[in-house]
Structure 1
Amino acid sequence: MSSIQNKQLWFFSLLLMSIGLADAQEVCFTPLPGPNLENSLLDGQIRVKSEDSEINQDTFAQFKGKVEIDSSQVKIKADEALLNRQTQTLKATGNVSFQDSNITVSSENVQLNRISNELLIEDSLYQLNNVQGHGKAQKIALGQKNGINLIESSFTTCPVDDEVWRIQASNIEIAPNQSRGIIKHARFYIRDVPVLYLPYFSFPINDERQSGILYPSIASNSSTGISLEQPIYWNMAPNYDLTFSPRLMSDRGVQLKTEFRYLSEKHAGQANIEYLVDDLELSDDTERYFYRFVHSGQIGKNWRVTADINGLSDDNYIVDLGSDYYNRADTHLYKTLGISYFSQSLDVTAQFRDFEVLGDHADSYRALPEIRLNYLTPVGLGAEFQINSELAYFENRDIDYPTATRFHIAPTLRYPYKNQWSEFLAEATAMHTRYIQENIENTNLDKNISRTLGQVKVYGSLAFERPASWFGSAATQTFEPKVQYLYTSFENQNNIGLYDTTRLFKDSAGLFRGQEFTGLDRISDNNQITVGITSRFVDNNNNQERFKLSLGQIFYLRDNQVDDASKEDDKSALAAELDWQIGSKWYVHTQAQVSTITDKVERSSLSLEYQLAQNKIMQINHRYVRDLSSEEINQVGITASWPLTKNWQWVGRWYHDIKLSRTVESYAGLQYESCCWTVSFVAQRNLSNRFDDNGAQSTNEFESGFNVYFTTRNLLREGLFGYRRPYLLN
C-alpha cells in the first residue's frame, strides 16, 4: 500500500501548505501522533484478531467483534470484516478506523482490493497525523492507476469544535506521476458563510516549486490610494524562476513588478525591474522605473565575483511607490561590481563603485575602478608583517569636479600578544600615498602630490576579576582597564581633494580606532593617549552578564595641524556606555558623549524596556545630537505590544520630535490570531520625506495609510522605526 500512502501524504500535507497556515499550528494546535505500526509482519502479510470468526479455506473468512487487521503499514479496526479469498478483497464495516503513518480515518465502510491495490472509504471523517488538518469526505478512492479521488470533501486546519473556515470541493483528483492536483467546484467558507467560489484550480502535490498565483497584497495610503498587488509565479526551471506582480493603484495607475532569480552550484543572483508607464498623479506623462541586480558567485577555488547595481527614474520613486529594498530615508543607492581573490595570507579585491544620489545632495565620487591588496605573514618571535595597499580612480558626475588617481601603500610591522587576562599590541606603520589630480583649475589642489606619514601605536589592556554580590546573588565583577598611545606624523593635506572621506563620530568603541576619517584623503596627525575602563557583573548561577559600564576619553598631547581634524579642546568628550538587566523583566541601554570642558551632552541615546513575555513589551527610546549638519536632533519614542485577549494583540508606536514639537511617526496595529487564521489591521502616519523640484527634502508633508493583512505579520517591526532590542549582553 505504499503508493496509496504516498498519495495521501502529497495531498494532505501540501494542501495545508497551500493555504499558508503552518505558523499557526506551532502556537495552539497539537496534531494527533501517528499510530504505533511496529510489528513483525512482512510486506504483503496480514494478521487478523477478532472475538469470533468463520473461515472457509477456499472462499472467505469472516470476522466479528473487535476486529483488528494489521499489516506492516496499516492498522484497521472494525465491528466486522469479510475477506474474500477468490477476489482478494477485504470489506470492513461498523465503526471502522483506518490508520497509517499519515492519516486516521473514521468510517462505516472500508473496501480494499489487494489485486488492484485500490482502497475505497465511504462517509468518512479524517484527521491528519503529525500535521494540522482534518475534514469530511463522502467518498475517498485511492488506487495505483487513478491516484486519489475525493468526492464531496472538506478540509480545515481549525480545531474540530471551532471551524472558523473550511474548503469544500465536489471533486479532488491527484493523478499518478503528476506534480499538481486538480480541485473542481471549490467553495471557501467563513463559518458557514460561503465567501469564494472557484470552478477549477490546481495545487502542488510535492515539494517542487510550481507555477501559479501567489497571495495578493492589499493596502491603502495617501500616496498611492488603494493598492492591489497580485504576484504570479513562473517556475521556469529547477534553478531559476520569475515572478510577475501587476500592481493596481487607484491614484497612480498600473505598475508591473518583476523578480527573476537564478541559482547554480557556484552562482546565485536576482534581478528586479519595476515599471509604471504613466503616473496619474503627475501632470505630465511620466514613466517611472526601478531596477536592481544582485549577484554572488565563485570562480575557481579562491576567486569570487559580486554585483549590487540599483537605479531608479527619479528622487521620489521610493517615497511615492515604496520599495522592498530601500527605506524612504535613504539618500544613496549602490552600484558596485567587484571581483575578489582570497588566500591564507593574501586577499585582492577589484571593484567599480558608484552611487545613485537622491535629492539635493552633493554627487558622490565613484571609484572606477578601486583595487585593494592586503598581505599578512608571520616573521618570527610572534611578530607579523602586513601590507595594505590600494589603487583607485575617482570621478564625479559633475564634469566640473576634479578627478583623481590615488595609490596608497602602508607596510606595518606589529607584535600582538593575547592571553586570558591581558592583551598587548605594538605596531609601526609607514603610509605613502600618491595622487594625480585632473580638472583642478580654479582650485587649490595640486596635480601631483606625494604624502608619506609614519604612525606608531601601542595598546594594552588587563582584565581583573573578584567575587562579588549582585542583588543577593553570587556574581563575578570585572575591572578591565585599557590604554593606547598613538602618534601620527603631519603633512599639509589641503591640496588634496575629498573623494571618499568624511569625519567619523567617536563613541566608546571608536575612541581606540586611531583614525578620525573614512577613506584616505585625510589622515589626521596624532599625539594622544586614549584611556578606557570597563566593568561587568556576571551572574554565577547562569553565567549571564547583568551589568556593563564602559568609559573612555582621548587626551591630546598636541594640537592637530590637519585643518579638517582641528579641535578646540585638549581632550575629547567623555564617552560612556551602560547596559543593565534590572531583574528579569527590565533592560536599560544608554550611551553618551559629554564634553568635560563645557559639561554639556554632545550625543546621547537611551533605551528602557520592560518585557514580561515575547509579546508583552514596552520600550521608551530617546536620542539627542547637539550638532548634526548644523541641526539639533532631540527625539523620543514609545513602542508597546500587549495582548488584549487570548487571540487579540495590540501594537503601537509613537515618535515625537521635541525640538520641532511634532510627531514624526504614529503607528498602530491590531492583530487577531487563532489556531487557523490571522488578520492584521494597521494604521500609520509618518513624514513623507518627499523631494521638491529643486531636490530639497520636505520636512512638513505627512503620509497616512491603512492596511489589512490576512497572513502573520511582525507588527513590532513594521513602519519607519521598527522595534529593536535595546542592547545585547554577552
Structure 2
Amino acid sequence: MQINQLSLLLFTLSSGTVLAQSSTSCPTPVAGYIADEKILEDQIRVRANRAEIQQNNLATFDGKVNIVSDKAQITANKAVIDKANTQLNATGNVSYHDSQMRVQSTDVLLNTDSGKLAMSDTEYQLTQFGGRGAADLIEIDQNKGVALTGVSYTTCPIGAEDWKINASSISIEQGKLWGEAINTVFYVKDVPVFYLPYFIFPVSNQRQSGFLFPEINTSSATGLSYEQPFYWNIAPNYDATFTPRVMSKRGVQLKTNFRYLNEQSLGQVNIEYLPNDQETIDDRDRYFYRYTHNGKLNDNWLLNIDFNGLSDDNYIADFGSDFYNRADTHLYKTLSLNYYSDNIDFSVNFRDFEVIGDHQDNYRALPEMKFNYLTEQFGSFEFSLASELAYFDNKLAEQPTATRFHLAPTIALPLRSQWGEFLAEATWLNTYYNQDNIDGTGLAEETTRSLGQSRVFGALYFDRDTSWLGSHLRQTLEPKIQYLYTSYKDQNNIGLYDTTRLLNDFNGLFRGQEFTGLDRISDNNQITVGLTTRILDENSREQFKLSLGQIFYLEDNKVLAASKDDDRSALASELDWQIGSKWFAHTELQLSTKTDKVERSSISLEYQLSEDKIVQINHRFVRNLSGEQIDQFGVTASWPITENWHWVGRWYKDLSSQRTIESYAGVQYESCCWSISLVSQRHLSNRFDVFGQQNSQEFESSINLKFSFKFSGTEARSGRRNMLEDGLFGYKQAYLIN
C-alpha cells in the first residue's frame, strides 16, 4: 500500500546506527537505513499482517507493521493513520530508524501535515558519535530540528556505564553545528562530578571551536606541567590552536598553531613563547617559531618554504619539540621555487641555517639555481645537461665566500631488457669558482676545473624454480659490474662549501661519487662488482634478499680528500629475510678485507604478530664516526596485556660506556568510552653549556599522565595509537623486502 500524503516522514539529526548490544563489549557500528530503490520520493509503503481502511480516511494496521519511505523506517505492533487529523500513531515495541539514528520507543506520533514527530520513553543511539542514551520524550521537527527531554548520554556499552551525562533537555536546531543542553550533570559511575546549568556541544563531525583535552606531565626540566589546548575553527580552510602551558619550574608558555589550506597550497605557522623563564639566571624570554608552505603556482611551478628559529641552544632540550629532536644541530631556513616539465626541471633555492650549539657554521646557499635537461631524440642515445649556479656565504666574517658555476653535459646509451641492462655514458664536468676573502687560505680567486668521466655498467638477471620445506619458490641471481673512470685535477685551491664525504652501503658502491656537493670530485679508476640473490614465493613476493659488493681501485686517488689505505673498499653486504609470517631480519655490514674488522654494521630482528604486537631487537656499530665509536644495543616492544590494557617500551644501551642512554615505558587502559595512560621516560638531556659544548652526562626524567573521556565512539583506540607512535619513536620495520 502507498500513501502519498505521508511524505513528511523525513527528518535529520546527527546520525544513526544499531543499538548497543546487551553486553559490556563495545557497540559495533553498522550502516544506517538504506531504502528500497523502488520507493519514490514523497512515498511510503506500509506492510502488516492485517489492514483495515475506513472510507479512505482512517487506516488501521496490526501485526508486524513496517512503514518505510525513502528516508526512514518505522516498525511497530500496531499503527493507525488518521488522514482527517493528519496523524500517524504507532504503538507497541516501536522502532524508528533513519540514516542518522535508531530509536526504540513505546509509541510514535507523527503529524503528517507539519512533519513533527514525537516519541515517548525512548532509547536511542547515534551513528557518527557512537553515543547512546535514553529520553522521556524525543520531538523531531523537519524545520526546527530535534529536542530531547529527560535525556541521558554516554558512549559506554550497556551494563558498563563508567560515565554518563544527564540533562533536563537537549535541543539541536536544524542546520546548526552546535546543540544546547540545560541543567546538565556529569556522572562517573553513579557519582555526580559536576553540574552545568547550560552548555553547548558539537553535533556534526565538522571541525568545531572549543577546548581540547588537557595534558598533564612532570619532568626534571619543567616540573609539573599542565597544557590546555583551545581549538578555533576560523573558516573551512583556516584554523588555529592556542595552548597555554603552565610549568611549575619555568612559568607560563603559550604555544600557537595556525593552519591554512586551499586548492593550490597549504601551510602552517607555529609560535611558542615563554616570557621570563624562571630557571634561567637572567629570567630571559624563550621562543621558537616555524613557518612551512607548500604551494602550486600553476601546472609547472611549485613554491616551498621551511623557515625555523629559536631563542637559544637549549630550547628543544628544555621544552621538547614536535618538529625537531635533541640530537639536531641545525634548523632549516629554506625557500625553494621549482619548475617541472617533460624534459626540463629548474629550481631556485635559498638555504640558510640556525646553528644549535658550538658547531662549525655552515655555508648558506643564497641563492642556488639548478637547471637540468633530458632528451631522447638521438636514436638509442640520451643527452642530458646538468647545471648549477650558486653563491655561498658564511656568517663568520673571516670565512671565504664563493660563486660557483657548474655545467655537466652527458651522452648515454641505455639498453634494458627482462634479462639484463647495459649503460655506457660519458660526462664532461666543468666548474668555475670565483672566491673572495681568501687571504692566507691558499685558495684561488678564480679557477676552472674541467674533468672527464666515463662509466660502463652491466647487470644480468637469472632465475630458476626451487623448493624449500615443501614450498614452491623462485630464486634469482643478479650479478652487476661497473667500470668508472674520472680524470684528475688538483682541487686544493677550492674551498669546501657544501661538501662532505659520503658513507658507502651496497647501493652506494655504484654511486660513482664519494662526496656531497661539487667542491671535491675524486679521480677514479675502479671496478665495482656486486651480486644479489632473491627468493620469491608463488605470488612473486620477496622472502629473502642477500646483496654483496666491493670496489677494486686500479689506481691510488690523487685527490687528497679521497685518499685510501687499501686497493679495495670494505666488503658491503645487506640481508633481508622474512622468516615465516611473523619473524623478520635485516642486517647491513661493511667488513674491511685488509684488517678483517667490521667497520659498520646494523642488525635488526623483529617479531610482529599484529599491528600492535611487536618486539624488535637492534644493534648498531660504527668503528669511527667523527673520531668516536658508536656501539649501541636496543629493544623496542609493543604488546597488549589484556583486551583493554596495553604496554609500550623501548630501551637503548651504549655498550662503549656501559650505560643506558634511553628508556621509555608506557601503560594504557582504554575502553569504549574512556582511556588513561601513564608514561615514564629517561634520556640524555643533550643540553649545551655557556660555551656551546653539549653535555653527554646529564639525564632528564619525566612522567606523563593522560586521561580522557570519549564523547564520540569513533575515538576508540585513538589514544592507543598515539601512545604507540610515541613509544615506537625511531622504530623502523626490520626488513626492506619489496
Following superposition, the deviation at residue 41 of structure 1 comes to: 4.8
User: Equivalent residue for 1:9?
Assistant: 14
Deviation digits for residues 250-287 of structure 1 (CA, Å, limit 9, x no counterpart):
21111111112122221221111111111111121211
Tell me, in whole angstroms, the C-alpha distance in 2 between the residues paired with 1:714 and 1:470.
41
Out of 349, 357, 361, the residue aligned to residue 359 of structure 1 is 357
Within the candidate set 579, 585, 602, 1:582 is matched to 579
Greater alpha carbon shift after TM alignment, 43-52 vs 560-569: 43-52
Q: Does 1:107 align with 2:105?
A: yes
Q: Which structure 2 residues correspond to residues 615-630 of structure 1 after superposition, within 5 A?
A: 615-630=612-627
**Partners in 1 of 2:37 and 2:362 — Cα distance?**
73
Residue matched to 1:260? 258
In structure 2, distance between residues paired with 1:485 and 1:579: 27
Q: Is the 8 A contact 2:8 2:114 kept in 1?
A: no
Aligned partner of residue 510 in structure 1, secondary structure: helix
**Residue 57 (structure 1) aligns with:** 55
Per-residue deviation at 1:181?
A: 1.8
Alignment TM-score, normalising by the size of structure 1: 0.94
Q: CA deviation at 1:125?
A: 0.8
Deviation at 1:65, TM superposition (A): 4.6
User: What does 1:457-476 correspond to in 2, within 5 Å?
Assistant: 457-476=455-474
Give 1:175 deviation, angstroms. 1.5
Q: Does 1:212 align with 2:217?
A: no
**Residue in 2 that maps onto 1:606:** 603
> In the alignment, which residue of structure 2 is the partner of 1:339?
337
In structure 2, the CA distance between the partners of 1:79 and 1:301, relative to structure 1 (3 Å rule), is: closer
Which residue in 2 is equivalent to 1:646? 643
SS class of match (2:503): coil
Q: Is the 8 A contact 1:4 1:143 kept in 2?
A: no
* Correspondence for 2:314: 316
- Residues 292-312 of structure 1 deviation map (CA, whole Å, 9 limit, x = unaligned): 111121223311111111111
Alpha-carbon deviations, 1:554-574, whole Å to 9, x = none?
Answer: 000111111111111010000
Whether the aligned pair in 2 keeps the contact of 1:411 and 1:431 (CA below 8 Å) is: yes
**Separation of aligned partners in 1, 2:256 and 2:222:** 19
Structure 1 residue 612: Cα displacement: 2.5
Percent of matched pairs sharing the same residue? 57
- Contact 2:34–2:71 (Cα < 8 Å) also in 1: no
Residue 727 of structure 2 corresponds to residue 722 of structure 1: no
1:672 CA displacement: 1.7
1:200 aligns with 198
Change (3 A) 1:618 1:568: same
Matched, 1:548 2:574: no
Distance 1:130 1:243 in 2: 24
Distance 2:7 2:264 in 1: 37
Q: Distance in 2 between matches of 1:2 and 1:399?
A: 82
The equivalent position to 1:688 in structure 2, one of 673, 685, 689, is 685
Counterparts in 2 of 1:104-503, with a 5 A limit? Answer: 104-128=102-126, 132-503=130-501
Q: Distance in 2 between matches of 1:197 and 1:513?
A: 68
Distance 1:48 1:593 in 2: 78
* Equivalent-residue separation in structure 2 for 1:168 and 1:2 (angstroms): 34
**Kindly tell me: are residues 60 and 392 of structure 1, through their superposed partners in 2, closer, same or farther at Cα, counting changes over 3 Å?**
same
- Indicate the residue corresponding to 2:713 in structure 1: none
State the alpha-carbon separation in 2 of the partners of residues 706 and 566 from structure 1: 50
Mind listing any 5+ residue stretches in structure 1 that lack a counterpart?
A: 17-26
Cα deviation for residue 458 of structure 1 reads 0.6
Instruction: Output the CA distance in 2 between the equivalents of 1:263 and 1:3.
Output: 39
Alpha-carbon distance in 2 for matches of 1:446, 1:146: 82
Distance 1:35 1:256 in 2: 46
After superposition, the C-alpha distances for 1:124-169 in whole angstroms (9 at most, x for unaligned) are 0113468733211111111134311112212223322333332332
Aligned to 1:592: 589
Amino acid paired to 1:284: D
Q: In 1, Cα distance between the equivalents of 2:10 and 2:679?
A: 43
Residue 565 of structure 1 pairs with residue 573 of structure 2: no
Deviations 1:545-589 (A, max 9, x none): 111110010000111111111111010000011111112221110
Q: Aligned letter for 2:171?
A: E
Q: Give the C-alpha shift of residue 613 in structure 1.
A: 2.7
Q: Which residue of 2 aligns with 1:92?
A: 90
Pairwise CA distance, 1:341 = 1.4
The letter of the residue matching 1:381 is G
Seen in structure 2, the aligned counterparts of structure 1 residues 301 and 585 have a Cα distance that, compared at 3 Å, is closer
Please say if residues 583 and 607 of structure 2, whose CA atoms lie closer than 8 Å, have aligned partners that are also in contact. Answer: yes
1:657-712 alpha-carbon deviations (Å, 9 max, x no partner): 00001000111111222233332221111111111111111111111111123433
| Amino acid aligned to 1:674 | S
Residues 1:31 and 1:342: Cα distance change in structure 2 (over 3 Å): closer
Alpha-carbon displacement from aligned partner over 1:515-537 (angstroms, at most 9, x marks no partner): 11000011111111011000111
CA drift of 1:719 comes to: 5.2
AA matched with 1:638: V
Distance 1:546 1:65, change over 3 A: closer
Which digits, 9 at most, give the CA deviation of each residue in 1:420-465, with x for residues without a partner?
A: 1211111111111111111111211111111111111111111111
C-alpha displacement at 1:226, in angstroms? 1.9
**How far, CA to CA, are the matches of 1:300 and 1:77 in structure 2?**
56
Q: Which amino acid aligns with 2:670?
A: E
Is the CA contact 2:638–2:649 (under 8 Å) kept in the aligned structure 1? yes
User: What is the rounded CA distance, in whole Å, between the counterparts of 2:732 and 2:8 in structure 1?
Assistant: 49
| 3-state SS in 2 of match to 1:713 | helix
For residue 721 of structure 1, report the CA deviation from its aligned partner. 4.7
**1:583-629 residue CA offsets vs partner (Å, 9 max, x unmatched):** 22211100110000000000001001122233322211000000111
Q: Structure 1 residues 687, 86: closer, same or farther in 2, change over 3 A? A: same
Deviates more, 1:712-721 or 1:351-360: 712-721
SS in 2 for 1:718: helix
* TM-score for both structures, normalised by structure 2: 0.93
For 1:9, what is the secondary structure of its paired residue? coil
Label 1:65 to 1:703 Cα distance change in 2 as closer, same or farther (>3 A). Answer: same
Cα distance in 2 for partners of 1:611, 1:676 equals: 28
Distance 2:299 2:56 in 1: 71
Query: Could you tell me whether the CA contact under 8 Å between 2:66 and 2:75 is conserved in 1?
Result: yes
Residue identity matched to 1:723: Y
Please name the residue that 1:22 is paired with: none
